[in-house]
Structure 1
């Protein structure tokens, strides 16, 4: 589904990613873990075309996308749910969701809206409510639901547990597992290590723009080098 080779990216003369190789197969969850400032968000932005790759290649569904603009990448089925939710606070829940199908999935908007409401029943209850009045957990549901409206082949989730209470974090990871069980491929980019490894088929630890540990999720969870790599100790 996604194949990244030798990816170098950054801002101006500053390199943030320094030769990243990454694969996501159809139907799997792959986690990218790391603390703040190691390049996780830059990776997401480069995959979705917001930041242009300086070197390397990105193949999605068999075609190169590293030279494409973000709308074309969305149209191909790679959809990025950004860190911080980025909802439109003065618009209603339904209006926010409908914007998710602006570039892709418009023909099936009504059916996809019902699908989102089945996944997130609380959004159905608040469908006419201004998005900015939702709780943090509900706003995260809305952001993910907006991504689902675009009929993604691969969904990039950037820090979906950020700022949530422990109970809502548990609920969020259960929902991610459910989306994957329905066949959706997910690139999960997180700081929450153990819960990410519990749902991911494979995982990578990013440090200073490079992957320093990689492996099956359950194997990495038991790896004594995980804490050293993750904390930089």
Structure 2
């Protein structure tokens, strides 16, 4: 579904991504792991068309995304839930969700809104509230719900567990598993190594703008270098 080959990108004279290769197949969860500053957010921005790649190629659903605008990428079904939620705090819950269908799936807005409320009953309970008054966990639900409103073929989740309590982190990963169980392909970009590897079928570990380690999740989790670097073992 998504194939990235030799991806190079950066800002000004600074090169951030140095030949990234990765792929996501239909219906699977792929974890992209790494600490702050290794290039994960830059990768997401390139995939969403917000930064022009300097080299390599990105193919989504059989089509190259080179020279494709962010709006066209959304229309194709590649949807990102960005780090930090990026909701509109002074707008209501319903309005935030409806904005998710602005560029894709507009005709199914009412049906998809009910699906989101089935997935997140708490959002339905708070439908009249301003988004900025929601708890951190509820705001993350809102951000994911907004992404689901666009009927994604592939959903990129950028640090969905960031800033959540341990209990809410457990709930968030359970939600991701349910969404994938319904057939949604997910690229999970996270610092939470242990839980991401428990959930994903395959994983890529990014260091200094390049893939340092990749493979099926169980093999990556057992790798001595990963255990030493990220788990302190």
| TM-score category (smaller protein) | over 0.9
- TM-score normalised by the chain length of structure 1: 0.98
Q: Is the 8 A contact 1:131 1:139 kept in 2?
A: yes
Equivalent in the alignment of 2:224? 224
- What is the CA distance between 1:66 and its match in structure 2? 2.5
Equivalent in the alignment of 1:77? 77
Q: Distance in 2 between matches of 1:71 and 1:171?
A: 31
- TM-score normalised by the chain length of structure 2: 0.98
- What is the CA distance between 1:229 and its match in structure 2? 4.8
Mapping of 1:33-112 within 5 angstroms? 33-112=33-112
Q: Is the 8 A contact 1:212 1:229 kept in 2?
A: no
Instruction: Kindly indicate whether residue 15 of structure 2 is the aligned counterpart of residue 21 of structure 1.
Output: no
Q: Distance in 2 between matches of 1:135 and 1:77?
A: 29
Q: Is the 8 A contact 2:92 2:127 kept in 1?
A: yes
Q: Distance in 2 between matches of 1:128 and 1:179?
A: 25
Q: Is the 8 A contact 2:113 2:149 kept in 1?
A: yes
What is the aligned residue count? Answer: 233
Q: Is the 8 A contact 1:74 1:103 kept in 2?
A: yes
Equivalent in the alignment of 1:161? 161
Unpaired stretches in structure 2, ≥5 consecutive residues: none
Residue-by-residue CA offset, 1:57-113 (whole Å, 9 max, x unaligned): 000000001211100100000001100000000100000000000000101001100
Q: Secondary structure at the match of 2:15?
A: strand
Equivalent in the alignment of 2:127? 127
Q: Distance in 2 between matches of 1:145 and 1:61?
A: 23
Where do 4+ consecutive residues of structure 1 move more than 2 Å?
A: 227-233
- What is the CA distance between 1:228 and its match in structure 2? 3.8
- What is the CA distance between 1:227 and its match in structure 2? 3.0
Q: Is the 8 A contact 2:9 2:18 kept in 1?
A: yes
Q: Distance in 1 between matches of 2:8 and 2:66?
A: 11
**CA separation of 1:201/1:77 partners in 2, compared to 1, >3 Å: closer, same or farther?**
same
Mapping of 1:143-182 within 5 angstroms? 143-182=143-182
Q: Distance in 1 between matches of 2:186 and 2:229?
A: 23
Q: Distance in 2 between matches of 1:223 and 1:110?
A: 46
Unpaired stretches in structure 1, ≥5 consecutive residues: none
Q: Distance in 2 between matches of 1:178 and 1:77?
A: 19
